[in-house]
Amino acid sequence: MRMLPFYKPCHALYRNCSKFLKKRSKLKRMTFISVLLFSLVLMTGCGGTAIVDSIDAIKRYSMKSDLNKECQKTYGRKCFSFKGIGSITSLDNHLYVSDYNQKIYKIDVENGRVKWLSGSGRGWQDGPPLSARFDSISGMTAYGGFLFVCERRNNRIRKVDTESGEVSTVAGDGDEGWQDGPGLKSKFRKPSDITTDGVFLYIADNFNHRIRKVHIMTNEVATLAGSGIKGHRDGKGREARFSHPFELVRAGGTLFVLDITGVRKVNPMTGDVTTLAKQSVESLLNNTVKKAERDYHIRKIATDEKYLYFAVNNVIKSMNIDTGEVKFLAGQSKLREWKNGVGGEASFVGISAISIEKNLLYIADSHYPYGFIRKLDIKTGKVDTLWSKDKTILQGQSYE
């Protein structure tokens, strides 16, 4: 049985001892608190699970406190953090962010203002933002004044008006399965990501091992590529095989798809499937992932049409689409901290999504219950945190 962590009293202890500890190093501070915590657990007889949980909670709290101190130096107050981050996308100087409370937020990247857009909790419900419900938003893309969202648990593709927050269902009847045809009669099985070219929506249909497409005007659903049999096989359309495709982007007339076997390329006109050169994939994985784990650590992908950007074990790398040349940009594979800096000085806790707008790569850096948006200047390699200078709180929500 999992014991409740003692992180609240430890947080109070951390604050009360701050004067004594302020001149000590971070390691000494953590050691001091851990020893006191250990004594507390022994007195209460709660066991080792509580120790591990509580130390982990203190570590997350301490890292979050460091970020808030940095924010206070700039703006004189604590800044907005999300309750975990599921997905992000960008359009016209705005970021759209989904969190683990099944809500969608809109961020003005010019002034950092955060606005709740839609979603009132877990479930499935179309309609105005106060009544709309989502379940496990796994991917988002924006086009033409709308945000298109795929949901793993609802097995649906939804559409959100970026101004009013009104929500409607584009495709999927909610039941797991595979069926093409009219939008609301179609079936998906845990769709995990979505992108668009302005005419079609392209969906990584994870457990169907297929790439699906939805016509934006008619909502008609069709299968672009994949036989439905799990595996790795290049070929044309439904002759090809994927193994749990989970991320995809469109660049230069090609769909780049991540599945657990590597990086695949799909022609959106013909459905032809090929595999990215092995040498390029090896360059992405070098110095970041052990050989035994290599098939599972290219987790996130974004593009600006000229380059692909990958998150590989909390390291950001770029790849020139034409030449296949790979460059390191930022992060550390062996350090999990919210730390700003340039290139290898910066570090991330848990990259859950990435999106690019102009020369900035926005990174969802999340360790529940905390989530921050980091930004990486792709020209200089400098990593900062996107602070909220102003925020709009609706529905009685409050954030530290």
pLDDT of residue 326: 87
Residue 157: C-alpha distances to residues 122, 180, 183, 192 (Å):
15, 13, 9, 10
User: DSSP assignment, residue 32?
Assistant: H
Residue 293, CB half-sphere, CA atoms under 13 Å: how many? 11
pLDDT averages per 10-residue partition of the chain, 400 residues: 43 48 52 59 48 48 58 59 84 90 88 86 93 94 95 96 95 96 96 95 96 97 96 94 94 90 92 81 64 58 90 89 89 85 91 90 82 90 78 38
Residues of 202-241 as b/e, b for ≥16 C-beta within 10 angstroms? bbbbbbbbbbbbbebeebbbebbbbbeebeeeeeebeebb
188 vs 85: CA distance, rounded Å? 23
322 vs 338: CA distance, rounded Å? 33
pLDDT of residue 110: 82
pLDDT of residue 392: 46
pLDDT of residue 7: 42
Of 261, 252, 266, the residue nearest 308 (C-alpha): 252
The phi and psi torsions of 290 (rounded to 5 degrees) equal: -65, 150
225 vs 228: CA distance, rounded Å? 9
Does pTM surpass 0.85? no
If you search the block for the tokens 């469109």, which residue do you land on?
250
Of 225, 240, 331, 324, the residue nearest 271 (C-alpha): 225
How many residues would you count in the chain? 400
Which helix (H) or strand (E) element contains residue 65? helix 48-75
Instruction: Please report how the helices 48-75 and 7-16 are oriented relative to each other, as an axis angle in degrees rounded to 10.
Output: 50
Instruction: Please report how the helices 26-44 and 7-16 are oriented relative to each other, as an axis angle in degrees rounded to 10.
Output: 130
Q: Report the SS3 class of residue 258.
A: strand
Which helix (H) or strand (E) element contains residue 125? none
Of 192, 179, 168, the residue nearest 242 (C-alpha): 192
- The count of other CB atoms within 10 Å of the CB of residue 264 is 25
Question: Omega of the bond prior to 128 within 30 degrees of 0, cis?
Answer: no
pLDDT of residue 82: 78
55 vs 38: CA distance, rounded Å? 9
368 vs 100: CA distance, rounded Å? 8
- Residue pair 224/237 in contact by the 8 Å Cβ criterion: yes
- Characterise 306 by phi-psi region: left (phi > 0), alpha (psi -120 to 50), beta (else): alpha
pLDDT of residue 148: 97
Of 82, 84, 95, the residue nearest 140 (C-alpha): 95
pLDDT of residue 349: 87
pLDDT of residue 73: 64
Quote the Cα angle for 156-216-230, to 5°. 50
User: Looking at 261-335, which runs of residues are DSSP E strands?
Assistant: 262-266, 272-275, 298-303, 307-312, 315-320, 326-331
